[in-house]
Amino acid sequence: MLLASAIASQVAPAPREQTATSDQRPTILRRNPDRYDDTFRKYSKRYFGVGFDWRLFKAQGMAESNLDSAASSWVGARGIMQLMPATFHEISSKNPEMSRIDDPEWNIAAGVYYDRILWRLWAADSIEDHRKEFMLASYNAGRGTILNAQTMARLDSLDHRSWPAIEAVAPKVRRWRYNETLGYVRRIDSLHAKLLKRR
C-alpha cells in the first residue's frame, strides 16, 4: 500500500525545537507575509484541485515550522512541512522531481502530497465536515494513532467518524500525546482563519 509504513509511523509532533528561536520566527513572517504563497497554491491545485483552499496548507506550514525551510525537530522532521526523511524518501520515490527534502518547494510539495494521501484514506472513515481534522491529526500523530482513537470512540458508543468524538476519547488513547495533536489541529484552524481575513 502506498506509504503504508510512513502513514502508520509518521511522527511530527508540535511544538518542535526549530532552528530559529521563537523570538525570531514571528519576525520572519512579518517581513514577508506572502512567502511561499505561489508554491502552496500550485501544489494545492495539483493534489486537491482548483476549489480547495490552499491557505489551509500554508497554515499547516506555519504551524509546523513558521515557514522556516531550515527547521528541524528533535525527532528528525525537516523543512517547512516537517517531514520525516523516510516519509519524504517514500514520496519522492513516486515523484522523482521531489529531489531534496531541504528544498522549500519540494518540501511543501511532498507535505501537500502526503496530506492528499491522508485525505483520501479518511474519505470513508470520517464525516465529510470533519475530514480535514482527521487528515491534520494523522499528519501530526500518525494515522494509526487516530484509528486507535476511533476504536476507543466505538467502545464508548460515540460516532467514531466525528472529530468531537475523537477529542472526547483522546485522553484514553495509550501512548498518544493528544494535547499536542489537538492543539496542532486548533492552531492550524486559527492560522487558516487569519489567512482568510487577509484576502
The predicted structure's pLDDT at residue 99: 94
Query: Hey, what's the cell of 180?
Result: 499536542
How far from the centroid of its chain's Cα atoms is residue 88's Cα? 13
- Position 62 in a domain: yes
CB-based contact 167:182 (threshold 8 Å): yes
Q: Quick one: 68 and 34 in the same domain?
A: yes
Domain boundary among 66, 88, 121: 121
pLDDT at 3: 56
Is residue 47 domain-shared with residue 72, that is, in the same domain?
Answer: yes
Q: Is 110 inside any structural domain?
A: yes
Q: How many domains does the chain fold into?
A: 2
Do residues 117 and 131 both lie within one domain? no
Q: In this prediction, what percent of the chain has a pLDDT beyond 70?
A: 84
- Position 176 scores a pLDDT of 97
Whole-angstrom distance, CA of residue 37 vs CA of residue 119: 21
Which residue range is the domain that position 117 belongs to?
Answer: 20-121
40 located within any domain:
yes
**CB within 8 A of 3, min separation 6: which ones?**
87, 90, 91, 114, 117
Residue 48 is predicted with a pLDDT of 98
pLDDT tens-digit readout, 156-183: 999 999 999 999 999 999 999 999 999 9
CA atoms within 13 A on the CB side of 137: 30
Asked if residue 139 belongs to a domain, the reply is yes
pLDDT at residue 32, rounded to an integer: 75
pLDDT for 125: 95
Q: Which residues does the annotation mark as catalytic?
A: 64
Residue 22 pairs in a beta bridge with none
- Domain end (from 97, 121, 145): 121
> What is the predicted pLDDT for the residue at 31?
58
Q: How much is the pLDDT for 33?
A: 78
Residues with pLDDT less than 70, the chain: 1-31, 199
